[in-house]
Amino acid sequence: MNTKQYIFTLAVTFLFAISAMSQTKLSASEQKEFKAKVQNTAKNTQTIVSDFTQTKHLSVMDNAIASEGKLVFKAPNLVKWEYVKPYQNSAIFKDDQLLVNNEGKKDQIDLSSNKIFKSLNTLIVNSIKGDMFDETQFDLAYFKINEGYLVKFIPKDKRMKKFMASFELKFSKSNGEVQEVKLIEPNDDYTLITFANRKINTSVSENAFIN
């Protein structure tokens, strides 16, 4: 697998899925109120520490691929995804670098040299915070669901569409936090991650982002 394929595969892994649910489109005034709530939450979020369970659904396999891990985020753009089951590996986004540790084998990839890679890094950070309603990059659709809100994103960039057909974020009704995200690949494979034990604005050391 070449570097480009690896980065996009990793980005796909980082985003999650939403189960079937009833949807009602938000009115213009409801959209404005919802976005203000989400952006206020994102603005006041300095750190996030959360467990997650991830399942990747592939059309060529009968069973989903499951894994577990921990997410650590520190504003403005430090992100660590640490997988603990069934394998131990991690990926750290730091200073336009992707630091990978795959069961002791370490690698460092420069994201700043490629516009699309840098966009993916920004996408990951903003997805975690929930502040990503960029209509210059995505066609957006807003819905009210039983558990809160759902936003569907369709990339406008043709290069990104080759790897990501669309994705969906589910938000909490009470505080506008991101709860789940669904990333759909062009062949309809998708990745699902569920957060648990989410902690906001707790103390996070810079040492957490050393590979």
Q: What is the mean pLDDT of residues 182-188?
A: 86
pLDDT tens profile 58-115: 888 778 788 999 999 999 889 999 999 998 899 898 888 889 898 888 988 888 776 6
pLDDT tens profile 139-151: 999 999 987 899 9
**Contact (CB, 8 A) for 53 and 197:** no
CATH code for the structural domain at 3-209: 2.50.20.10
Q: Is 104 helix (H, G, I), strand (E, B) or coil?
A: coil
Pairing of strands 97-102, 166-172: unpaired
Give me the residue spans of the domains in the chain: 3-209
| Confidence band, pLDDT 50/70/90 cuts, at residue 11 | low
pTM score, whole prediction: 0.78
Query: CA 163, CA 168: separation in Å to the nearest integer?
Result: 15
Locate 201 and state its tokens. Answer: 């604005």
